[in-house]
Structure 1
Amino acid sequence: MGDSKYLWTTCAALAVLAIPAHAQDNSGSDREDAQQRSSAPGTIIVTANKREQAANDVGLTIQAASAETLADRGISGPDDLAKLVPGFTFTQSLYSTPVYTLRGIGLYDATFGAAPSVSIYSDEIPRNVPTMSDGLDLDIERLEVLKGPQGTLFGQSSTGGAINYVIGKPTSTFEAGASASYERFDRFELEGFVSGPLSDTLKGRLAVKGVTGGAWQRSLSRPNDENGTERKLAGRLTLDFEPTPAVRLRFMATGALDKSDPLAPQYAGTIFNIYGSQAELDASGNPYGYVDATRYQQLTDPTSPGYDASFLGRRAVFEGRLASSDPEVAAGANAALGTPISDNARDGEWTPGLLSKSDNNYYQLALRGDFDVSDTITLTSITALAEKNLDYNQDLDGTTARVVDVPLDGYVKTFNQELRIAGNSDQVNWIVGASYDNIETEQNNFFYLGAYSGNADLISITLNNFSSKQKSYSAFGNVEWEVMPDLRLQGGIRYTRNELNASYCYNDPAIDTGQGAATLFGSGLNSVPITINPGECFPTSGDILLGTAASTIDPVLTGFDEDNVSFRLGANYQFSGGTLIYATVSQGYKAGIYSAIGASRTNQYTPATQEKVVAYEAGFKAPLGQGRYQLNAAGFYYDYSDKQVRGRVQDTVFGLLEKLLNVPSSYIWGLEGEFTGEPVDGLNFSTSATYLQSKVTGNYSQTPDGLAVYNAAGFTGDFSGSKLPYTPEFSANADIQYRASLGGDIDGFIGGTVVYTGKQNATFETSVLQADDFVIDDYTTLDLRAGIASQNDRWRVSVFGRNVTDESYVTAVSTFLDTLIRYRGRPATYGISFDFKY
């Protein structure tokens, strides 16, 4: 009954929640936002300025959606937001940590505690890092996506924008609801909530959700071995206490368990099958090799920007292992060089038994207090404590070999406190406040390297111990002033100070018993051999080849402080017909970061300093056709300084190794448009699109300490002129649904969503510094749905299909040590769902 326990737990919880259903009179509901859920374009309520406003009255570029819209489009979390938000991309990093990019601004990093460039909130409470995205799809009221730097009101880590999930609130009368769905690959999902008064001054709401099944990946070599099963359970308790009309307290406790299978990457080849001539290939004994004289010249010519000093030596290691008398060694080499390359989204490969169940959990406790100082002034305190614990395995080579198999464990702990006072009047709205954030992380990565070419049988297991601490202090203010009828000016500013510290120790752990009590690291590589005992840190300073290297032995302790000032200035004017025009200039920062990098040299540990975006934007929001249509458009320009990237530097022994870097200068400009409408009763449509142009403008060729910078394909030089990674030039989506009466109190509906994502590059490239293997082709997905529902929406039954054309598409491409890997989106799925509200 292993995987089904999540389903049964959820069923039991929902059964208990449903017991009071017949004891209450559901004569109505006074939920705060019930009257604000009109389906007419432009009437959704947002909190972009930390107060409730109609989206059409806010001089910012916002895309918002109700819970019903999210459900219709199959949007369950940030991973699916491209179905709603053009210009948004989701990428899975090497260690399965999510990466969010909005309008070309994002941070690709695999560290558990890596602060994002696009921040995530639930009811204005920060989810400080993307790994803390658990339970965001649980009992959602609506979603708000704010584009452009949001640092003045939402703080740092929002240079690209902020995404705020507004959750369901306790109600004054009893309400309950449940939904269930079953789809392809035996995936079953069950969710429900109950809400209502507990006393005259206390209201509560409890929501739970469970997911099981869904193994859609299959092993190429083991037909019965599948991967991708979800095993998730999440719950949230919300209590609203209002002892007096002037005092309102809200407590929220969210918890989530995740024992799902980590997704496996798909093998996409290796450069170690490349030969310069047929004669060289024939002499190699490599049955998987092929001749590519141009690429071979790039790899082996010291004058080439694609030169790899370690290439020939590491290829020779593989050639020797192919003929090894040890069956395990030979099998590893054959897998690393000869795993089939497939274009089928379902096909994958991984070390047998590695991708077992994860053991991840998350909790967040939050308390919000609103205290009315007067009729127009409110004091608000938001306190949150959260922790994410992670323990799972990752295959980073896409083969059955142990080129690099990585068990990981660690945690992220956060504490957030915001205190603000806000005043509202007919002409002036203002906020003054301060906040404190404390983020503590630990990450331990074991690397099983038995089949890694650079290992050369010196080390089979390594362990990277990384920990970090970040404290942030900020003060902010914001004012909106109606200087004359319909003309409002806005100004905001935030000062932030960051204190960061990190500890690194990359070592040969004591469990690596095959290497004896001590490992002689560098023998044959360094003219002065370096003896490292188990557990001692072996990254070196100096140069191994010159014999000047010396290992740190002890952990490397490092830290730095930074401060910055974010601001926003804006103006908007609303015409009598409702059309709003607006313009803003804003400056946002993302704090400097350390990353959980396993280094061979200590200079790989230097952090990326804070990045800055200065954004200029103008747009309009126009209701048309007596409110039946809505047309929104915006144009923007971002001046991007010190963009943070997890780049590459060349090691003469191990090849390309990772290092945090800053791109000195770049820019992004773009155009966006959104058109929604209801031309006739029951027929609703929406379409939106984003066009982007990005370019590196400053000399991006070496690190401050003089190391040459490489792209993921192994080319070095000046990357000026390159587009920014994961920034498709054009992306768009469209949705249409028609609903009509079928007689009695039953309606029927049918609809669909199409999403287009343009071609993009996964690493920096120019016409000279090539990266053809890291280009992600454009793709289009189509979702369909149909069903019946009661006219009062108390129940709904629908059938759906996601990616019904079975488009095989890539979401990320990377390389780690010996092999090229890519992650693919899900194949076609179809299913049935049922929703009920009491």
Structure 2
Amino acid sequence: MRLNKQYLASGAFVALATMLATPAFAQAQPQGQTAADDTPAAGEIIVTANKREQSANSVGLTITAASGESLITRGVSGPADLAKLVPGFTFTQSLYSTPVFTLRGIGLYDATFGAPPSVSVYTDQIPRNAPVMSDALDLDIERVEVLKGPQGTLFGQSSTGGAINYIVGKPTQDFHAGVDASYERFNRAEIGGFVSGPLGDKVSARLAVKTVTGGAWQRSLSRPDDHNGDARKLMGRLTLDIRPSEKVKIELMATGSRDQSDPLAPQYAGTIYNIYGSQAQLTASKNPFGYVDAARYAQFTTPGQAGYSASFLGAQSTLVTRLNGTDAAVAAGARAVLGTRISNDPRDAEWTPGLLGKSDNSYYQFAGRADIELTDTITLTSVTALAKQKLAYNQDLDGTVARVVDVPLNGNVRTFNQELRLAGNTDKLHWIVGGSYDNVRTEQNNFFRLNDYSGNLGLIALTLNNYTSRLRSYGVFANVEAEVVPNLTVQGGVRYTNTKQSATYCYNDPAIDTAQGTAIIYGSALNSVPITIKPGECFPTTGDLLLGTAKSTIKPVNSDLGEDNVSFRFGLNYKFDQGTLLYATVSQGYKAGTFSAIGASRVLQYTPATQEKVLAFEAGFKAPLADRKVQLNAAAFYYDYKDKQVRGRIADPVFGLLEKMLNVPKSYIFGIEGELVVRPVDGLTLSGSATYLKAKVTSDYAKTPDGQAVYNAAGYTGNFRDSELPYTPKFSANADAQYEFPVSGNLNGFVGGTLTYQGRQNTTFNNAALPAVDFNIPGYATLDARMGVATADGRWRATLYGRNITNKAFTTAISTYLDTLIRYRGKPSVYGASVAYRF
């Protein structure tokens, strides 16, 4: 207790350093380990943050690392569950179900298949270039490492927020095998295993496979027997370890997966078209689902107000007319838009009958790594990877049985990566120099079925957005770590990156009357000059539709973007004799500009967001205490964030507010993090970690560089200054307890639980001038529990578990597309059992 009180009383790193260096508290070094040595002691976890194996306590970065066993214990099966381990990390899905990772407030919410992330994902340092390429990340994992802060010098430009590195199981020189199986609520079953061993004197192999089925936890509001959410996954990985000589090691890896799971359905959360200014207006409308909100109605309908929408009254009138019309099918569509029931039960959802169901997604990656020891201290490493993600599935973006926005999607992402580096390692000096090349090609086709959309006045019922893009990136980098005096290490790194990108857009109507052969679009509906196009021709325009000067491109729109940048990192590490590490870093990272698969009526909406930059300052400590029974880590950081990339909104004269890639000029992120692990008695491990973030826009921002007014998702325009950054909860935390105790000679029992908290967050920019109350996600906490038995030698384990055992209803994302507000919900309580056996 005396030591804990001293830490709590210390308000500065200098005072803390003095305490930790005091001989009275010094702890014995593990045998063979010096103070400056970064060799892991017994029980410490190894990380590869600097592209070499080190103890996590010797790396001057904020790192969360967990073993594969810990991931299984906590129910972490992929990036979606990492918040159970990593405070400050959020996972959500975009409108098109593409995953979005945000770390310490840095992330890119985009629905494009090949969108480069702000938080990069790797498998054994091999990049997964886009978040959609996340299949099989939970297959046969040895450990996961989450590196916080810009990692551009060693991990490239798509890591301004950080990097996630999954380390997979490796081939062994002796025979080993294992199997894991589980069954849980909603008939979800999972079974997987591995076999590993020698194929000869110089070759060993490891084969891992897994299959997941069932789990349909969503149910239709109008069709109780119609369920959604079944998983149908099959994945496998074959790894070969080849040692032709003592100086050469070659690793070959082939990974493949097939995913035919149901896409997640959204939950209807209302529509603004039920809002009226007075009871008299509501009565006259004959809208049984309407309600009076005079203040908000005035915002929507009064020119000059921040929330004014020129299309609001027309769209509302169209829906009510359809609702009260004689065409039963049309009336049913309007009734769904206006009157779908809003439920707080996370299982309740709604979708167009027959729309969802099996996806047709697949992924493969072939990778090779060669390490050649040129001398006793210098190694040449080559890492090569070729991958393809194929996607085909349907998405309901209105959360109703109507066809307001039903979107079948298909496309693919193809990547090639090559890195060549030379590394030298001595007792006092570690250095790396190298180069990298990345080639990413994306194709995405979005069909839009808009039959019941309020703005569909006979113009277009089915449209197709064809999008292709290519990114080529070249980089050269260097990094050095040197112990300049005993216990003091200086680290510096730099990377130069040159990126060339191109994109092609064609928004068209594939259902033009083939007998006529042409279609007249826009025209009198917009008081514009009619534009005649043929099947497959592109109808985005230049000029001004409302002034009658618009002209269709007819041909696809091509755009190019070339950029370069220099990222760097400089750091100081001081390690006391008893093992405590103090560190401070200054780093700068970039994320390349990005195109987005956006459908629009005007060419100007296709312009990309340019590259963003983060200048980060961080200081922290890692303190193993009480003979390593206590681990205390903490860090404080400040990010100067420039040109943050966002998928904002501008007014489209045809479709209302549509998304566009934008740059927010200036913002900042300040944060404090802490982690505590305590092992007070044999068998008991208590751990907790927390992150506090303050993230705001600091510049005036109301219009794009070409003068277009920028809107938030709620439809308000104005100055974005002082808005919180989206998907950035101020406070997030997790806590875990695990107690193991002997039951008999070779049998142990265990019991444990994990509490995860995510604070309130907004999903769009929000301040006094830009109200967006409908887009706030309330804070929530979930509790998991587990108990079971295992043999002392680790050969088998049986577990009973519960996830979200309090059945907390929570939301993970909120969005809107055209007529309705939708939200995505987290799973309700899930109970299950699992067994694991190792041969």
| Normalised-by-shorter TM-score class | over 0.9
* Residue of structure 2 equivalent to 1:610: 611
Higher deviation after alignment, 529-538 or 303-312: 529-538
Deviates more, 1:603-612 or 1:531-540: 531-540
Residue 591 of structure 2 corresponds to: 590
Residue 498 of structure 1 deviates from its aligned partner by 0.3
> One-letter code of the match for 1:272?
Y
Which residue does 2:473 correspond to in 1? 472
Q: Distance in 2 between matches of 1:351 and 1:515?
A: 30
Q: Could you tell me which residue of structure 2 aligns to residue 643 of structure 1? A: 644
- For residues 514 and 690 of structure 1, the distance between their equivalents in structure 2, rounded to whole angstroms, comes to 59
Partner of 1:6: none
2:250–2:368 CA contact under 8 A, matched in 1: yes
Unaligned runs of 5+ in 1: 1-35
Q: Which residue of 2 aligns with 1:555?
A: 556
Task: Quote the offset at 1:316 in angstroms.
Answer: 1.2
Aligned to 2:158: 157
Once structures 1 and 2 are overlaid, which stretch shifts more, 172-181 or 451-460? 451-460
Secondary structure of 2:334's counterpart equals helix
Separation in 1 of the partners of 2:256 and 2:40? 28
Q: Where does residue 401 of structure 2 map in the other structure?
A: 400
In structure 1, distance between residues paired with 2:715 and 2:571: 44
> CA contact under 8 A between 1:459 and 1:515: conserved in structure 2?
no
Alignment of 1:333-344 (within 5 A): 333-344=334-345
User: 2:730 is matched with which residue?
Assistant: 729
TM-aligned CA deviation for residue 265 of structure 1? 0.5
Equivalent in the alignment of 1:198: 199
Distance in 1 between the 2:770 and 2:659 partners? Answer: 18
Cα shift at 1:225: 0.1
The residue number in structure 2 matching 1:187 is 188
- Residues 1:325 and 2:353 aligned together: no
Paired position in structure 2 for 1:767: 768
Report the Cα offset of residue 526 of structure 1.
3.5
Question: Residues of 2 paired with 1:283 and 1:533: CA distance?
Answer: 43
Q: Is the 8 A contact 1:115 1:128 kept in 2?
A: yes
Q: Give yes or no for the alignment of 1:783 onto 2:752.
A: no
Residues 5-60 of structure 1, C-alpha deviations (whole Å, 9 max, x = no match): xxxxxxxxxxxxxxxxxxxxxxxxxxxxxxx99884xx100000000000001111
Paired position in structure 2 for 1:673: 674
- C-alpha deviation, 1:515, in angstroms: 9.9
Query: C-alpha distance in 2, partners of 1:490/1:742?
Result: 49
3-state SS of paired residue (1:333): helix
Q: Which residue matches 1:20?
A: none
Q: How many residue pairs get matched?
A: 800
C-alpha separation in 1, matches of 2:513 and 2:366: 43
Deviates more, 1:312-321 or 1:382-391: 312-321
> Residue in 1 aligned with 2:683?
682
The DSSP-based 3-state class of the residue aligned with 1:223 is coil
Corresponding residue for residue 828 of structure 1: 829
1:332, distance to aligned residue in structure 2 (A)? 0.6
Superposed counterparts of 1:452-601, under 5 Å? 452-509=453-510, 511=511, 513=513, 517-524=517-524, 525-601=526-602
Matched position secondary structure for 2:570: strand
Offset of residue 530 of structure 1: 1.1
Q: CA deviation at 1:544?
A: 1.3
Contact 2:520 2:531 in 1 (8 A): yes
Superposed, 1:378-457 pairs within 5 Å as: 378-457=379-458
* SS of aligned partner of 1:680: coil
Matches within 5 A, 1:19-34: none
Asked if structure 2 preserves the Cα contact closer than 8 Å seen for 1:523 and 1:529, the reply is: yes
Consecutive unaligned residues in structure 2, runs of 5 or more:
1-38
Conserved in 2, the CA contact under 8 Å of 1:583 and 1:617? Answer: yes
Partner of 2:55: 54
- Give the counterpart letter for 1:66 in structure 2: S
Change (3 A) 1:831 1:723: same
Structure-1 separation of matches of 2:41 and 2:516: 70
Shift, 1:323, TM fit: 2.1
The residue aligned with 2:620 is 619
Report the counterpart of residue 168 of structure 2 in structure 1. 167
1:523 Cα deviation (Å)?
2.1
Aligned partners of 2:830 and 2:204: how far apart in 1? 39
Q: How does 1:252-271 map to 2 (within 5 A)?
A: 252-271=253-272
Asked if residue 283 in structure 1 is aligned to residue 284 in structure 2, the reply is yes
Kept in 2: contact 1:460–1:512 (CA 8 A) = no
Please say if residues 114 and 595 of structure 1, whose CA atoms lie closer than 8 Å, have aligned partners that are also in contact.
yes
Q: Which moved more, 1:517-526 or 1:668-677?
A: 517-526
Give, in angstroms, the shift of residue 551 of structure 1: 1.0
Shift of 1:346: 0.2
2:353 maps to 1:352: yes
Do the aligned partners of 2:40 and 2:55 also contact (CA within 8 Å) in 1? no
SS of 2:316's equivalent in the other structure is helix
CA contact (8 A) 1:648 1:711 kept: yes
- Structure 2 residue identity aligned to 1:519: A
SS at 2:132's partner residue?
helix
SS of the residue aligned with 2:680?
strand
1:454 is paired with a residue whose SS is coil
Report if aligned partners of 1:593, 1:608 keep a CA contact under 8 Å in 2: yes
- In the alignment, the residues of structure 1 paired with residue 276 and residue 699 of structure 2 have an alpha-carbon distance, to the nearest angstrom, of 36
Query: 1:452-508 CA deviation, whole Å, 9 max, x = no partner?
Result: 011112110000000000000000000000001110000000000000000000001
Structure 1 position 651, deviation (Å): 2.2
Structure 2 counterpart of 1:523, one-letter code: G
Compute the displacement of 1:681 (Å). 0.4
3-state SS of 1:699 partner: coil
Deviation at 1:431, TM superposition (A): 0.1
Quick one: distance in 2 between partners of 1:816 and 1:612? 29
TM-superposed deviation, 1:527 = 3.2
Distance in 2, Cα, partners of 1:76 & 1:527: 53
Query: Offset at 1:514?
Result: 9.3
SS at match of 1:70: helix
* Residue number in structure 1 paired with 2:29: none
Output one character per residue of 1:729-757: Cα deviation in whole Å (capped at 9) or x when no partner.
00000000000000121100000000000
Query: How far has the Cα of 1:303 moved from its partner?
Result: 1.5
1: CA distance between counterparts of 2:92 and 2:456? 29
RMSD: 1.1
Contact 1:385 1:414 in 2 (8 A): yes
Secondary structure of 1:63 counterpart: strand
Query: C-alpha separation between the residues in 2 aligned to 1:413 and 1:299?
Result: 44
Q: Which moved more, 1:516-525 or 1:90-99?
A: 516-525
Matched AA of 1:730: F
Once the two structures are aligned, what percentage of the paired residues are identical? 67
CA contact (8 A) 1:267 1:399 kept: yes
Deviates more, 1:583-592 or 1:315-324: 315-324
Tell me, in whole angstroms, the C-alpha distance in 1 between the residues paired with 2:353 and 2:42. 50
Instruction: Provide the rounded CA distance (Å) in 1 between the counterparts of 2:112 and 2:52.
Output: 34
Structure 1 residue 773 displacement after superposition:
0.2
Q: How many angstroms does 1:653 deviate by?
A: 3.6
Q: Distance in 2 between matches of 1:285 and 1:455?
A: 22
Q: Secondary structure at the match of 2:679?
A: strand
Number of the residue aligned with 2:711: 710
> Does the CA-based 8 Å contact 2:513-2:519 persist in structure 1?
no
Report the Cα distance in structure 2 between the residues aligned to 1:38 and 1:198, rounded to whole angstroms: 32
Cα gap change, 1:346/1:516 in structure 2, threshold over 3 Å: closer, same or farther?
Answer: farther
The structural deviation recorded for 1:513 is 4.6
Corresponding residue of 2:33: none
Q: TM-score under structure 2 normalisation?
A: 0.95
Q: Which residue of 2 aligns with 1:13?
A: none
User: 2:65 & 2:285 partners in 1: Cα distance?
Assistant: 59
Q: Secondary structure at the match of 2:455?
A: helix
Q: CA deviation at 1:517?
A: 3.3
Separation in 2, partners of 1:515, 1:145: 58
Offset at residue 325 of structure 1 (A) = 2.1
